Amino acid sequence: MTDAFDDLKDAVKGNDGICFVPGGAEVRRGWNNIVYRAGLSAKNVGSAKLSMNLATIPPGGVALAHVHVDFEVMLYILEGRVRHEYGEGLALSVENGPGDLIYIEPGVPHEVFNLSDSEPVRAVVARSDASEWENIVSYDRATGQVGETSDR
């Protein structure tokens, strides 16, 4: 797994207004127990307002509690089942599976659980933030406190 921005740029093909990451691109990065395939963002295509990745949560994995600061997220679940625990104190929950579309408003605390101990979850993740996950902060379930910007 790598976090080198040059590798992200190398994964992109095309130019003159249309860029793409081929399906076989091997650049992978990790954040908060999630593995991301090289996507499209300000880091590699110069996007000003959007980013999009393919995310994988490994079997039994958890994307720890966090908050998206001032940006929206939409997900499309390709494979696997997840449970989002969300809201104040993460007191609410919803489960989703393949074919489900999910919208997460800015500022909503949430934690994401892969419900399988044997199969990964794969989802397309689109954000209204070209920096991907730089504007995400941790959230403490017990205290309701929003923390520092999460590790990348």
Q: Residue 149 pLDDT more than 70?
A: no
Q: What's the fold here for domain 5-149?
A: Jelly Rolls (2.60.120)
Distance between CA atoms of 63 and 34, rounded to whole angstroms? 6
- pLDDT tens across 112-143, in order? 999 999 999 999 999 999 998 789 999 999 99
* Residue 5 phi, psi (nearest 5): -65, -30
- pLDDT tens across 59-111, in order? 999 999 999 999 999 999 999 999 999 999 999 999 999 999 999 999 999 99
Residues 135/130/112/57 CA torsion (nearest 10 deg): -130
